[in-house]
Amino acid sequence: TKWVSEHLVREAGKRGLRGSVIRAGYILGCSQTGTCNTDDFLIRFLKGSIQLHSRPRIVNTVNSVPVNHVARVVVAAALNPLEGVKVVHVTGHPRLRMNEYLSILEYYGYDVPEISYEDWKHDLEKYVSAGGQEKDQEQHALMPLFHFCVNDLPGNTKAPELDDRNAVKILKLDADHWTGVDESAGYGISREDVGRYLRYLCETGFISWPTGRGRPLPDIRLTADQLQVVGAVGGRGGGVSQ
């Protein structure tokens, strides 16, 4: 588990080794290719809103970062360890609010008007009670997280402000010693990033294509081999037929 792993790293620090405990917020897909994990809560939230044809008004900030930036921090921490064992928080800069994140669906042509959380919760409960039979024969994307979503989702998704000074330090060291590129300002999730995720999810059959008026989804390049691999993945993260 993560808890055990952290204690092992800390014990190694007590014995004279240097290392880092990396703690990231929500890790979303690659900001360059759009490749993302369909088992991720925020990705399933996008699909769940498409299925319900609405999105809840939740104004909490979302501490989310693209996976390629998290990978950058992990490598930088390994190559530029601070003294002892430090916690390295990877936080989004800037952060979107949840309602801003979900509104990107409409920007790209999905018909998902914003409604109150209570009304949206009622619609979700109704959809799940119907078992999908009255919809498209497909289980709701948020079904694995159903109780989390209907039991005070606004309260459950509050993201605390975290001290990411150690991440800034190691990224500056990485620029000085290795890359020559200062990435210490960090990254958040942009509208264009979400557009690439949506394009990837459409291309792999996880969600339907937008049918309303909106900006075209950004271009991404997926090879036939990549599509085959995605389709072969089992479990909730595999390819989903529409």
Q: Identify whether the C-beta of residue 86 lies closer than 8 Å to the C-beta of residue 76.
A: no
Residues 6+ apart with CB under 8 A from 110: 49, 50, 210, 211, 212, 214
| SS3 of 68-107 | HHHHHHHHHHHHCCCCCEEEEEECCCCCEEHHHHHHHHHH
Which of 108-122, 137-151, 181-195 shows the lowest per-residue confidence on average (mean pLDDT)? 137-151
d(CA 100, CA 45): 13
Q: How much is the average pLDDT of 144-150?
A: 85
Backbone torsions φ then ψ of 27, nearest 5 degrees: -95, 115
Among 215, 167, 139, smallest CA distance to 63 is for: 167
Give the distance from CA 159 to its chain's centroid.
Answer: 14
d(CA 142, CA 139): 8
Question: Cα dihedral sign for 230, 236, 241, 242?
Answer: negative
- pTM of the entire structure? 0.87
Q: How much is the average pLDDT of 209-217?
A: 94
Domains and CATH numbers, the chain: 2-217 (3.40.50.720)
d(CA 79, CA 60): 35
Among 127, 98, 132, smallest CA distance to 240 is for: 132
pLDDT of residue 136: 53
Per residue in 76-92, pLDDT (tens digit) is 999 999 988 899 999 99
Among 62, 63, 87, smallest CA distance to 73 is for: 87
Q: Identify whether the C-beta of residue 70 lies closer than 8 Å to the C-beta of residue 24.
A: yes
Q: How much is the average pLDDT of 222-228?
A: 74
pLDDT of residue 89: 96
Token pair recorded at residue 80: 């530029």
pLDDT of residue 242: 35
Q: Identify whether the C-beta of residue 94 lies closer than 8 Å to the C-beta of residue 61.
A: no
pLDDT of residue 159: 84
pLDDT of residue 1: 77
Q: Residue 162 pLDDT > 70, yes or no?
A: yes
Q: How much is the average pLDDT of 202-213?
A: 93
Percentage of the chain surpassing pLDDT 70?
Answer: 91
